[in-house]
A and B are shown apart, each in its own frame.
Chain A
Amino acid sequence: MYQQYKLRETISFVKLYKIMKNKKTSALSALTMSAMAIPGMGTQQAKADVAPENSVFSYRYTNYQESQAPKERVFSGSIDRYNIQVHQFSLLAPIKEKYSIKTDLVLESLSGASPIRNEKLDDGSTRMYMSGATIDEQRVDLLVAPKRHFESGNLGGMLSISQENDYESTALGVDGALEIFNKHTTLNGSLSWSRDELSPTGGGPADGKTKDSFSFYEGLSQVIDKYRVFQAGFGYTRHSGYLTDPYKGFDLRPDERNQYTLTTAYRHYLNTPMLGAGSWHLDYRYYEDSWKIRSHTISTAWWKDTTIFGQSFTLAPSLRYYMQNSAYFYTLDSNPTDEFYSSDARLSSFGALTFGFDAKWKTEKATYTFGFAQYLSSEDWNLLEGESDETPGLVDFTTISLGVDYPFSF
Chain B
Amino acid sequence: MSPAGESGRLEISITCKSYVAPSGARLEVLRDVVFGIGPREVVALVGPSGCGKTTLLRIVAGLDPDFEGDVVRPAAGRLGMVFQEPRLLAWRTVEDNVRLVAPDADAATLTALFDALELGGHRAHYPGELSLGLARRVALARAFAVDPALLLLDEPFVSLDQPLARRLRQQLMALIETHGTATLLVTHDPEEAVSLADRVLLLSSRPARILADIAIPTPRRARSDAEVQATLAALRARLAAIGSSP
A and B interact: no
